Structure 1
Amino acid sequence: MTTPLWKGLKEEEIEAILPCLRSEEKFIKKGEFVYRMGDPISSLGVLLQGKLSIEHDDLWGNKTILSMITPGNIFAETYACVPGEPLMVNIVAIEDSRILCLNMLHLLTTCERSCPHHNKLIRNLLAILAQKNLHLSRRSFHTAAKTIRARLLSYLSYEASRQGSLSFDIPFNRQQLADYLNLDRSALSNELSKMQKEQIIICHRNHFLLHTDSFDEMDF
């Protein structure tokens, strides 16, 4: 499995270090919780197969999707770094999933031999944490806009820039996109329809095409 956590490590080094990290493989069926809000976490997870959703539910049942986890990505690492800190989100399998759990205490504590591959692993984890902080900052930037259109354009502009094309796919369906941008799904769909009629975008399911020559005429 390719994951940023193993960057710079050879296959034999990964196999050698897994027992030191008290690794455990788990299978989670679609719709089941990997972790629930309030759970204490001691291990980070590496998604080997499937897809996970990190979600927050308030007391009134309103759900916000914070991110989607795809194979190779890690999750729960922040809470695993703070023993006893209760989880503030739910982590749910939206496909049948296979997960590798690694004990954070053993990951952060180098073994007696101070093996170089363990040090690489720690550096990789710090880089991943920094990238995730950037992701949360981007989401906050997208949702800071007051109007539905401004939030959509902020997110779609970012995806176009990230993927280097005005024609691109996003990793969300309509409900997931609404949750990610903290919007009502019906209001989101209505705004997308308006934007298509105004020839600002063309969208089909999760594929988008942006018409930048229309931007100058738009009133947000």
Structure 2
Amino acid sequence: MLSPEELKESPIFEGISYQSYLSMIDCFQAIQKTYRPEDVAYDFERGGDQVGILERGEASLIRIDEDGVSTVLENLTVGGVFGRSLAFSGGSRDSMEVVCRTACDVLYIDFPHILKRCEKACTHHSLLVQNMLLLITGKAQALAERIDVLSRRSIREKLLCFFHQQAEKAGTNSFTLPFSLSMLADYIATDRSAMMREMKHLREEDLIQTDGREITLLG
């Protein structure tokens, strides 16, 4: 359960008081669970209609294809939402899981409880739906950005596309990668060693400077 201070930092509960948050957990018959790093918090084949809300920690939405190759589709932080009802997925046979990167606390709510009209006409219910719609809009934007990156033909083009996206968000040519280099390789769907070689070439050509996860675009 979130503390009053943590509640203020969670985008899914923006505008909702702590007392309303406690009432909502009871009203929605929500279930809270705690996970360790590398635990699977949600399996899209068996998750049913539950929506998960990440209250603490970091997790990743992973797609696993028929050959067992894993690809990071989304990185989830506090306030992130996930669930089969919210997934942008088609009829693929690939499996999808939410894997905890750190220790995580997750609040699960049955999606029908969110959609149905609250008998008490609770304000916090309407706010939660509004906040969730905003987060889904953000998911759609993130998906569009990912497609833009993956549509590039070479590793170099994918890296530069992603770096320019991050620079635009930061409002400066210097920014911090939102995840590790290994996860960046997963994000652009390429081998980490090949990606590191290309980043070395970009540095040698004075197109970028790097310091760990700190990146500066020069060209």
TM over 0.5: yes
Work out the percentage of aligned pairs sharing the same amino acid.
26
Counterpart pick for 1:75 among 82, 87, 107: 82
Measure how far apart 1:37 and its partner are: 4.6
SS at 2:161's partner residue?
helix
1:52–1:93 contact (8 Å) kept in structure 2: yes
Measure how far apart 1:117 and its partner are: 2.2
Residue 150 of structure 1: aligned partner:
157
Counterpart pick for 1:124 among 131, 135, 138: 131
Measure how far apart 1:87 and its partner are: 8.9
Counterpart pick for 1:94 among 84, 93, 101: 101
Measure how far apart 1:64 and its partner are: 0.7
Instruction: Give the TM-score normalised by structure 1.
Output: 0.87
CA distance in 2, matches of 1:87, 1:36: 12
CA distance in 2, matches of 1:79, 1:155: 24
Q: Tell me if 1:133 matches 2:140.
A: yes
For 1:23, give the aligned amino acid.
A
Residue 3 of structure 2: aligned partner:
none
2:37–2:104 contact (8 Å) kept in structure 1: yes
Counterpart pick for 2:71 among 64, 72, 75: 64
Over the aligned positions, Cα root-mean-square deviation in angstroms equals 2.0
1:40–1:87 contact (8 Å) kept in structure 2: no
CA distance in 1, matches of 2:34, 2:16: 25
Q: Tell me if 1:185 matches 2:196.
A: no
Measure how far apart 1:26 and its partner are: 0.4
Task: Provide the aligned length of Structure 1 versus Structure 2.
Answer: 208
Residue 8 of structure 1: aligned partner:
15
SS at 2:201's partner residue?
helix
CA distance in 2, matches of 1:5, 1:157: 28
CA distance in 2, matches of 1:180, 1:172: 10
CA distance in 1, matches of 2:177, 2:34: 27
1:168–1:207 contact (8 Å) kept in structure 2: yes
2:64–2:95 contact (8 Å) kept in structure 1: no
Residue 113 of structure 2: aligned partner:
106
Instruction: Give the TM-score normalised by structure 2.
Output: 0.88
Structure 2 runs not aligned, ≥5 long = 1-6, 88-92
